Amino acid sequence: MNGRYFIELAEICEKIKETTSKLEKISKLGNFLKNLNDEELSATIRLLNSDILPPWYNKEIQVGYSTLSSIILEISGSSKEEFFKVYVKHGDLGETAEELLKKGKALNPLVQDKLTILKVYKTLLKISEYSGEGSYQSKKNALLNLFVNASPIEAKYLVKIITGELRIGLSEGLLEESLAYALGIPLTNLREKVLILPDLSEVAIRIKNGKYEEIDLELLRPTSFMLAEPMSSPEEIANYFNKEIIAEYKYDGIRAQIHKKDNKIRIFSRRLDEISFYLPEVVESISSLKGVFILDSEIISIKNDKVLPFNILQRRLRRKNIDKKLIEEIPLRAIVYDVLFYNGKQVYKLPLRERKELLKNIDFKDRIELGFFKIVRNSAEISKLFEESLNKGFEGIMIKDPDSPYTPGKRGKAWIKLKKEFDTLDVVIVAAEYGHGKRAGILSDYTFAVKDNNELKVIGKAYSGLTDEEMEILDRKLRDITIEDLGYKIIVKPEIVLEVAFDSIQISDRHDSGFALRFPRIKRIRWDKSPHEIDTIEKVREIYERKKAIFA
């Protein structure tokens, strides 16, 4: 197989990693991309964008940390202890592979079959095809075939590409900039098209072949979702807009983009996976609606007038067998609140208030319903609706600018979300783990517990919420109070108290308290509190029961 060598790509990545200059990254990569043919350009973009298989391909590589580390062990001939030491040091599997291969006695030191970009890409595609008994070995063999022919630096980038964590200061944003540079078009033009047709590789090839103008929203192909920004109070929202705004309930469900063209129906998830298959009764309901359209909606489950909690709803996803019983047990409905395409017309650029008018033309019925919305003018009205939403068992409200177009992929301030104020618990740190990537080598991940009479019961983990500085202070302190060093993790004396915020409490067997927190984040370190003053398992149970009362 001829073509550009993978080592070229690996070396470009290395240069990108070494410089912090954005312009330099862009010109280095851009110049490389410029000279690739269509097939190689497409493959390179997919490799760099952790997009080896587009989401609607409905296949997965199913190779992760575990498989890769066993391969690294095998070809480097290092001991498990050594592997671990190096891994904790780098906090990155790719860097680990490089270091171990450099000093290891490689299985096959002679490079006989130089890797090309296409060979790598095609091998990864092939790996996704293996399934069934023995597939783990087949995947591993195919990978070994790549790795024995890889130099240390190539091995590093193979690993990084497969895990999807390049960590070289280049992700979709800069990749797009480099591509715009290579194609000689303004970045904004490229961005606009990518949001509408979220497949960088395909967009690039189409533009390269002079088809820029033809790229637009397409029925039965997913487009990016418009996203919302959080605000923390009705006052903040009212002040920000200072005009009449549209308010909707916010549902704790699954985002769904519904496409209908003639009798073809496809539903896409937030990450653009097709999920129609899991939702047969929803598809059936959609098929009875008239018209050709793309709708934005949230799928939730309501039973006996009560909202089912998210973890129950989740049982409807990624399921192979969907039987009658399940459909009755977790009945679905799609709450529709926006329209992007309607009867032959692109309507996503129209202002929201006009799109809401269009929605009235659709004869919603069965499991598909038009989402409630109303105009609000001030913080008091926002507050009122917010309370109403919580009482109904929903998550909060969405506030939207009636003059705004639907901007795929953008998290702008045209849509604002207001969620329930979180509860907090005072907990004590009982263990800590080393971080990854930029947090390599520092104890940045904390396991914490609440009090159960004279015992401590673990209830969750968190790192989010602390500044780098606070993390460093904790790191030093934790090393001082270590009881046991497990290599990747340390057990510490229960001394440091944290105030942890969360959205809700769920029953769980992950931790020995029997509970877990949803969206835990650290509010602050309570240096002023002693571990005797932390919250108890009774309080946890109380919060859990309180929330349960409004659920089915």
Residues 128-147 that bind DNA (CB under 7 A): 131-137
As a whole number of angstroms, the distance between CA 105 and CA 67 comes to 20
- Provide the minimum distance between the beta carbon of 411 and DNA in the complex, in angstroms, as a whole number: 6
Region near DNA per CB under 7 A, out of 96-104, 380-388, 457-465, 529-537: 457-465
**Contacting DNA within 187-246 (CB under 7 A):** 228, 230
Question: Residue 60 interacts with DNA (CB under 7 A)?
Answer: yes
Residues 277-316 as x/- pattern, contact with DNA by CB under 7 A = ---------------------------------xx--xx-
Tokens of 301: 């489950």
For DNA, the closer CB: 208 or 410:
410
What is the token pair recorded at 485?
Answer: 């060093």
- DSSP states of 35-55 as a string? T--HHHHHHHHHHHTT-SS-G
Q: How far is the CB of 507 from DNA (least distance, A)?
A: 7
Give 116 or 257: the residue with its C-beta nearer to DNA.
Answer: 257
Q: Using CA atoms, how far apart are residues 157 and 93, in angstroms rounded to an integer?
A: 10
Q: What is the CA radius of gyration of the chain?
A: 26
Q: How far is the CB of 255 from DNA (least distance, A)?
A: 4
Q: For residues 418 and 386, is the Cβ–Cβ distance under 8 A?
A: yes
Tell me which residues in 521-540 interact with DNA (CB under 7 A).
521
Task: Catalogue the active-site residues.
Answer: 250
**Residues 237-266, interacting with DNA (CB under 7 A):** 252-255
Q: How far is the CB of 510 from DNA (least distance, A)?
A: 3
The answer to the question of residue 462 lying near DNA (CB under 7 A) is yes
Q: Which residues of 214-224 are buried (b: 16+ CB within 10 A; e: fewer)?
A: ebebebebbbb
CA distance 119 to 365: 51
Identify residues 379-438 at the interface with DNA (CB under 7 A).
410-413, 417, 419, 435-438
As measured in angstroms, the least distance from the Cβ of 60 to DNA is 4
Near DNA by CB under 7 A: residue from 79, 129, 211, 317? 317
Is 172 an interacting residue with respect to DNA (CB under 7 A)? Answer: yes
**Helix 38-48 × helix 172-183 angle, to 10°:** 160
Query: Residue 284: which H helix or E strand, with range?
Result: helix 280-287
Residues 79-98 that bind DNA (CB under 7 A): 91
- Residue from 3, 54, 55, 351 touching DNA (CB under 7 A): that is 55
- Tracing tokens 């030093």 back to the chain, one arrives at 476
Angle, helices 200-208 vs 38-48, to 10°: value is 150
Nearer to DNA, 245 or 432 (CB): 432
Pick between residue 116 and residue 163 the one whose CB is nearest to DNA. Answer: 163
For DNA, the binding residue among 37, 62, 108, 287 (CB under 7 A) is 62
Q: How near is the Cβ of 22 to DNA at its closest, in Å?
A: 5
Place of tokens 């709708």: 295
Minimum distance, C-beta of residue 56 to DNA, in the bound complex (Å):
11
| Strand 521-525 relative to strand 497-502, pairing | antiparallel
* Residues 31, 44: Cα–Cα separation, whole Å: 13
Given 105, 243, 319, 374, the residue binding DNA (CB under 7 A)? 319
Element (H, E) at 447: strand 443-452
The Cα–Cα gap between 209 and 395 comes to: 46
Residues 490-519 touching DNA, rule: CB under 7 A, are: 501, 503, 506-508, 510-511, 516-519
How many other β-carbons are positioned within 10 Å of the β-carbon of residue 280? Answer: 12
Nearer to DNA, 305 or 469 (CB): 469
For residue 402, the SS3 value is: coil
Residue located via tokens 């979220």:
198
Question: x/- site string to DNA, residues 328 to 367, per CB under 7 A?
Answer: ----------------------------------------
Our CB check for DNA shows the closer of 107 and 507 to be: 507
273 binds DNA (CB under 7 A): yes
Q: Work out how close the CB of 257 gets to DNA at its nearest, in angstroms, rounded to a whole number.
A: 10
Stretch that binds DNA, among 96-104, 105-113, 161-169, 543-551 (CB under 7 A): 161-169
Edge-first strand order for the sheet with 373-376 is 227-230, 411-419, 396-400, 245-250, 373-376
Q: Which two tokens stand for residue 143?
A: 């990978």
Q: Are 395 and 503 in contact (CB under 8 A)?
A: no
